[in-house]
Structure 1
Amino acid sequence: MTHASIASEVARFNEGFEAQIGPDLAGTFTREQADLRSAGAPAAVVSVGDVLPDAKLLTAAGDAIQLSAVRAGGPAVIVFYRGGWCPYCNITLRAYQRELLPTLLEQGIKLLAVSPQHSEGSEATAQGAELGFDVLSDPANVLARALGIVTEPSADARLAHTRLGFEVSDSNADGTAAIPYPAVLIVDAAGTVRFVDVHADYTKRTEVAQIVAALRSL
């Protein structure tokens, strides 16, 4: 069965979303995305060949666990997402559940999703999208900062969020608005980074086909 690309699902979502929120708010987000694309991802992001740092994360149940323990000495695909409040993240995680996870299970490769939201948010994300892989919290973006992928919404975007009845800092475990750039890392059994894809524009995501192709290098 052929599935739609994440990009096409995002485009379809955007049509309805922009009609729902109106041109004023839609324009705010469009300008934010353009500014993000213009700035690009920071230069100091994690690179292929780097060793993945260990970090203390929280499970969706609120239990502390080391990233190394979750990986259990095996390869992993690690997905950094902004939070369950982000529709583009949910589109992506559902696509990975549907199209990527079966391939990873066949190969014995872990799929991990990481965000700075509190554990209750991770649990809601996992349950809402019926995810069959680990959804973890990175409080205060400790792991994301070590990888150089932390940002935050623009001031105008945060005002737009408020008008929509939402505040990013309420979702995050540390009460700040800091979030990771959407990113996918593939690490081998030794913890060496073998693939990195970081997106400055949060509406752009790593397609399943890109990840599957990158897995051939493991």
Structure 2
Amino acid sequence: MTLQEQLDDFKTRFENGEFSFKPTRTQLDIMDRATSELIDGKAAVRALEVGELAPSFVLKDTDGRTVRSEDILARGPLVVSFYRGVWCPYSNLDLQALEASRAAIATHGAELVAISPQSPANSRMSQRQNRVGFPILSDPQGEVAVAFKVRFELPDYLVELYKGIGINLPIVNDDSSWALPMPARYVIASDRTIAYAEVSPDYTRRPDPPVLLPVLERLRTASRHRSF
């Protein structure tokens, strides 16, 4: 089953009330409204695209170690996935799919990181619950998400819904703002050029990680040619 098939299956079961939290039709309509407004506002169009230079970043992993994008790019390409948080089941399925492709990504000479606004403690929970072996980096105040132009402020009506169902982003993210990154996947070449970009204003839709492999293969082939 592809990642999108898993996401679609979860969405159907969620809307049918098959989990402990059973959303009302009104709650589902509010979630759909927020997604539609993000799509109609063309938020994803403003995000960084293929051919642009990716911003450099310095972030902490779940153990407090400093991770520098420039250090990773000195070793090869970098796959970056923006992750909403441990509270989002769609994002957790995304992490699991990335983990399933981690070895193949490494075989192509690339490294993989996820970037989330959540606190390191919550990122540790994400790693443990989803059994991922790649770093989940904490992005305080969403500064890296802003640099990639994928961060957005939640509308007030969605904030009220989240509060009502126990999703308190200021606590999860250790940040007073109510903001999230759109789900986004980037492949960054060693010279910081973006070779692949997929940004979705609909959090229930994500690209299947294996689609990254041909991109990484092209980068590896180009690197070999430059070395001759």
Q: Same fold (TM over 0.5)?
A: yes
Alpha-carbon separation, structure 2, partners of 1:34 and 1:85: 21
Residue 87 in 1 paired to residue 84 in 2? no
Partner of 1:59: 61
Alpha-carbon separation, structure 2, partners of 1:157 and 1:132: 32
Which stretch has the larger CA shift, 62-71 or 49-58? Answer: 62-71
Alpha-carbon separation, structure 2, partners of 1:103 and 1:159: 41
Structure 1 segments unaligned to the other structure (5+ residues): none
Could you tell me whether the CA contact under 8 Å between 2:60 and 2:137 is conserved in 1? Answer: yes
Q: CA deviation at 1:31?
A: 1.8
Could you tell me whether the CA contact under 8 Å between 2:85 and 2:117 is conserved in 1? Answer: yes
Could you tell me whether the CA contact under 8 Å between 2:4 and 2:207 is conserved in 1? Answer: no
Alpha-carbon separation, structure 2, partners of 1:195 and 1:41: 18
Partner of 1:6: 3
Could you tell me whether the CA contact under 8 Å between 1:81 and 1:180 is conserved in 2? Answer: yes
Alpha-carbon separation, structure 2, partners of 1:73 and 1:192: 15
Partner of 1:15: 12
Q: CA deviation at 1:51?
A: 2.2
SS of equivalent to 1:74? coil
User: Under a length normalisation based on structure 2, what TM-score does the superposition of the two structures give?
Assistant: 0.86
Could you tell me whether the CA contact under 8 Å between 1:82 and 1:180 is conserved in 2? Answer: yes
Deviations 1:122-142 (A, max 9, x none): 111111100011111111111
| Pairing of 1:63-78 with structure 2 (within 5 A) | 63-78=65-80
Which amino acid is the alignment partner of residue 183 of structure 2?
P
Could you tell me whether the CA contact under 8 Å between 2:186 and 2:195 is conserved in 1? Answer: yes
| Pairing of 1:1-218 with structure 2 (within 5 A) | 4-18=1-15, 19=17, 20-98=22-100, 100-218=101-219
Q: CA deviation at 1:58?
A: 1.2
SS of equivalent to 2:202? coil
Alpha-carbon separation, structure 2, partners of 1:135 and 1:39: 29
User: Under a length normalisation based on structure 1, what TM-score does the superposition of the two structures give?
Assistant: 0.90
Structure 2 segments unaligned to the other structure (5+ residues): 220-228
Which stretch has the larger CA shift, 87-96 or 11-20? Answer: 11-20
Alpha-carbon separation, structure 1, partners of 2:155 and 2:73: 34
SS of equivalent to 1:191? coil
Alpha-carbon separation, structure 2, partners of 1:41 and 1:187: 21
Which amino acid is the alignment partner of residue 111 of structure 2?
K
Could you tell me whether the CA contact under 8 Å between 2:117 and 2:138 is conserved in 1? Answer: yes
Deviations 1:67-121 (A, max 9, x none): 32344432111101111111111011111111x2121121221011001111111
Could you tell me whether the CA contact under 8 Å between 2:11 and 2:204 is conserved in 1? Answer: no
Question: In 2 relative to 1, CA 85–72 (structure 1 residues): closer, same or farther, beyond 3 Å?
Answer: farther
Alignment coverage as a number of residue pairs: 214
Q: CA deviation at 1:166?
A: 1.6
Larger radius of gyration: 2
Could you tell me whether the CA contact under 8 Å between 1:74 and 1:190 is conserved in 2? Answer: no
SS of equivalent to 2:23? helix
Q: CA deviation at 1:65?
A: 3.3
Alpha-carbon separation, structure 2, partners of 1:49 and 1:75: 14
Which amino acid is the alignment partner of residue 111 of structure 1?
L
